[in-house]
């Protein structure tokens, strides 16, 4: 275990595709002061630490090393990317039981070393594993954040930007619900620089709802398309995790679609699910409760019911 310096420390648990991509993006963007890589395969973590350190002369100063769970005692943020991956033809929900058992060991090991920071969960099924992490850790729900639909929202904005030929950063639209097959687009609050996208449907003959629905379908099924082609998705989610890391450590009070525990918002309770929330140094400051259409509200409740049903085996573990 290395003594903590004066800066920020992030411990990454799991140095597979997502974990190593996140580490690389953190180094490139110079977000933190200390990065610790923890993996069951210690040699893999050591190799990644060496490789990243060799890029230091081209980037920002940072201390990077392969460590142990002891390093979590001084961490500001523990990011969990470890677990079984989603394979071809496999849904995120298929991974529940095996990854919940893995998480019981991981979270227990982190907490046994006096961790009192914020958990960021990226492993799928992320909503259920975020709930499990909250239960296993005993931390306040504000300090356990799932990556939720942050990537789905980014995919949505990118494809809408492509469709309308505008910078995706000027597209404001959310995907909510499960990070998975029951997620939903919030068309009622989607806009480009303040102009509602549904207005384009009414005013422009070149914009029609069928094409927009196809865009959402491509967002929802993006992981399947990528997995079929290259075996896994990792660059997009790595960038999303860096965005979340910045929002937390820099106390940005940013609105991001993350997975968090609902306690009455949207008429839902005791479920981690993807919703817009304000994120800062304390974790989840506030869940933003949008005025959804009747259809959107119904779909969100359906998504939550699917998650709750799928989570029943996890209750036996937690």
| pLDDT, position 94 | 76
Nearest of 130, 79, 110 to residue 258 by alpha carbon: 130
Q: Is 315 marked active-site?
A: no
Annotated binding site for substrate: 86, 92, 124-127, 152-155, 233
Q: What angle do CA 60, 63, 67 make, to 5 degrees?
A: 145
| pLDDT, position 213 | 96
Annotated binding site for beta-D-fructose 1,6-bisphosphate: 157, 172
- Give the orientation angle of helix 222-230 with respect to helix 209-220, to 10 degrees: 50
Annotated binding site for NAD(+): 14-19, 39, 44, 69, 83-84, 99, 105, 122-124, 147
Task: Pick left, alpha or beta for residue 87 (phi over 0 → left; psi -120 to 50 → alpha; otherwise beta).
Answer: beta
Annotated binding site: 14-19, 39, 44, 69, 83-84, 86, 92, 99, 105, 122-127, 147, 152-155, 157, 172, 233
| Range name among 2-6, 124-128, 224-228 with the lowest pLDDT average | 2-6
| pLDDT, position 29 | 94
| pLDDT, position 209 | 94
User: 26: which residues sit within 8 A by CB, 6+ positions away?
Assistant: 10, 32, 35, 242, 245
Instruction: Give CA–CA dist 23/239, Å, rounded.
Output: 10
Contact of 181 with 174, CB cutoff 8 Å? no
Query: Each residue of 121-176: pLDDT tens digit?
Result: 999 999 999 999 999 999 999 999 999 999 999 999 999 999 999 999 999 999 99
Query: Each residue of 240-286: pLDDT tens digit?
Result: 999 999 999 999 999 999 999 999 999 999 999 999 999 999 999 99
% of the chain beyond a pLDDT of 90: 85
Residue 175 CA, chain-centre distance (Å), reads 13
Contact of 148 with 176, CB cutoff 8 Å? no
| Range name among 19-23, 36-40, 201-205, 243-247 with the lowest pLDDT average | 201-205
Q: How large is the average pLDDT for residues 192-220?
A: 93
In the sheet with 195-196, reading across from the earlier edge strand, the strands are 171-172, 191-192, 195-196
Q: What is the pTM of this model?
A: 0.94
Of 54, 179, 206, 225, which is the active-site residue?
179
DSSP 260: E
């Amino acid at each position: 275990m290395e003594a903590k310096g004066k800066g920020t420390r992030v411990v990454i648990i799991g140095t597979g595709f997502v974990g190593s991509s996140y580490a690389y993006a953190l180094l490139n963007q110079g977000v933190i002061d200390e990065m610790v890589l923890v993996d069951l395969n210690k040699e893999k973590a050591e190799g990644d630490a060496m490789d990243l350190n060799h890029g230091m002369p081209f980037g920002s100063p940072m201390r990077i090393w392969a460590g142990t769970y002891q390093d979590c005692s001084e961490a500001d943020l523990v990011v969990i990317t470890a677990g079984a991956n989603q394979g071809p033809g496999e849904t995120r929900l298929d991974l529940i039981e095996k990854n919940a058992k893995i998480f019981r060991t991981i979270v227990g090991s982190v907490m046994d070393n006096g961790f009192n920071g914020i958990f960021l969960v990226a492993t799928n099924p992320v909503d259920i594993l975020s709930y499990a992490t909250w239960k296993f850790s005993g931390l306040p729900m504000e300090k356990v954040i799932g990556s939720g639909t942050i990537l789905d929202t980014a995919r949505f904005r990118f494809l809408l930007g492509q469709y309308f030929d505008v910078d995706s950063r000027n597209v404001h639209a959310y995907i909510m619900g499960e990070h998975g097959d029951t997620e939903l687009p919030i068309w009622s609050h989607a806009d480009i620089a303040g102009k509602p996208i549904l207005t384009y449907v009414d005013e422009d003959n070149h914009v029609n709802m069928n094409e927009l629905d196809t865009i959402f379908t491509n967002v929802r099924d993006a992981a399947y398309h990528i997995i079929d082609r290259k075996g896994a998705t990792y660059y997009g989610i790595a960038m999303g995790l860096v965005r979340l890391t910045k929002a937390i450590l820099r106390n940005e009070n940013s609105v991001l679609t993350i997975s968090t525990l609902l306690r009455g918002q949207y008429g839902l309770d005791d479920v981690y699910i993807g919703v817009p929330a304000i994120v800062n140094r304390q974790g989840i400051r506030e869940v933003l409760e949008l005025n959804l259409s009747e259809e959107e509200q119904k779909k969100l409740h359906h998504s939550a019911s699917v998650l709750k049903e799928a989570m029943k085996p996890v209750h036996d573990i937690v």
